[in-house]
Structure 1
Amino acid sequence: MPALLLIDIQQSLCTGPNAAWDCPTLIARINQVTAAARQANTPIIWVRHAEPSLEAGTPGWQLAEGLQVESADLTLDKTTGDAFWKTDLLPMLQNLGVRELVIGGMHTEYCVDVTTRAALRHGYPVVLLEDAHTTCGNAVVTPQQVIAHHNITLSSTSSFGPRARLQTAQQWADSVGRA
């Protein structure tokens, strides 16, 4: 059984001067996959990051406005880029009987990357939602270049055994609807 792991789609990362690239499209795609996941009884896990500049419980720390979150969805709080590190994610997945993770969210080169690699290291194949993760980019590369680079890099990583494969949000929503 897959689980949908949605990383750090939080209010302060989607609005204001530090907003990641194209958050409205990201939120629409995330809502598309969560709707499909709910219809297929696929667990949804919302991950929230906390650190001194993103303090737990503050308005900016909350999940972003526009996300369709339901009370049956699960949440997980973390303080490092890796959603597995010093959290209850691994026992949560084991208790749910999860065999594969579907990952989307923010920020591509940090939390999405390290959590995808950790999932593979823990034996979980990953579907990386290639058009449902985003970032800010930096002075050297655009957000689109970061996203494209990580899609290629993560889907070609083979050293852990399990692999990551790419699907668009639409492809995944369609495939889970047929299952």
Structure 2
Amino acid sequence: MTSALLVIDMQQGLCSGEWAAHDIDRVLQRVNGLIDRARAAGVPVVLIQHEEGEGDLVHDTSGWQLVDGLHARPGDPRVRKLTPDSFYETELGQLLQQRGIDHLAICGLQSDFCIDTTVRHALALGYHVTLAGDAHSTVDNEVLPAERITAHHNWVLARLQTYGTRMEVVPAEAVPFA
């Protein structure tokens, strides 16, 4: 398999202030560990950034910027998106195809929106997917605390049978890079 690491929405506006994801310092540490391991294995790191027409995630505002401390490099491919799906109306699919990628390791924010949607679309497109189960997070909602939301998504995504054995959820330290 030829891998890529997708780092989804690790942005200032989702890592601090009102929308700061649960346990973001731990998540950032694990995401950085994945980035470092991917680079050591020669695996491309793709940085995906969500944007909206108003609010904290307007393109080029401080909230839209990658979070301080993220091990990003200027040459890392970046993908801008307007929906929770990192593939929908973006250049992500073309970027991965040009590099011959067939395995995606996924981490970032938010478990119940962009992580879930991107994982499912990647599987539908035929990619092998490894979700770093301890390197994604979200915020509390009216129904569940963030910790339970993330645990729920790990449980559900690990059990998707429709896509065969192409999906796994593992700790960040066990994510394979090939």
What's the TM-score, normalizing by structure 2? 0.94
**1:90 aligned residue:** 93
Residue identity (%): 38
Match status 1:142 vs 2:145: yes
Match status 1:2 vs 2:10: no
Shift of 1:123: 0.3
- Which among 99, 104, 109 is matched to residue 107 of structure 2? 104
Matched ranges for 1:13-24 at <5 A = 13-24=14-25
**1:154 aligned residue:** 157
Shift of 1:161: 4.2
Structure richer in helix, relative to its length: 1
**2:62 aligned residue:** 59
- CA contact under 8 A between 1:106 and 1:133: conserved in structure 2? yes
The amino acid of 1:39's aligned partner reads A
Match status 1:12 vs 2:13: yes
SS at match of 1:61: coil
- CA contact under 8 A between 1:10 and 1:64: conserved in structure 2? yes
The amino acid of 2:143's aligned partner reads V
The amino acid of 2:133's aligned partner reads E
Shift of 1:160: 3.4
Shift of 1:8: 0.5
Match status 1:78 vs 2:81: yes
- CA contact under 8 A between 1:12 and 1:60: conserved in structure 2? yes
Distance in 2 (alpha carbons) for counterparts of 1:79 and 1:161: 29
**2:47 aligned residue:** 46
Aligned residues: 175
Once the two structures are superposed, residues 94-138 of structure 1 have per-residue CA deviations (whole angstroms, 9 ceiling, x without a partner) of 001101000011010000000000000000010000000000021
Give 5+ residue unaligned stretches, structure 2: none
Match status 1:167 vs 2:170: yes
Root-mean-square deviation (CA), in Å?
1.2
Matched ranges for 1:109-128 at <5 A = 109-128=112-131
Distance in 1 (alpha carbons) for counterparts of 2:74 and 2:131: 25
SS at match of 1:157: coil
Distance in 1 (alpha carbons) for counterparts of 2:32 and 2:124: 28
Give 5+ residue unaligned stretches, structure 1: none
The amino acid of 1:143's aligned partner reads A
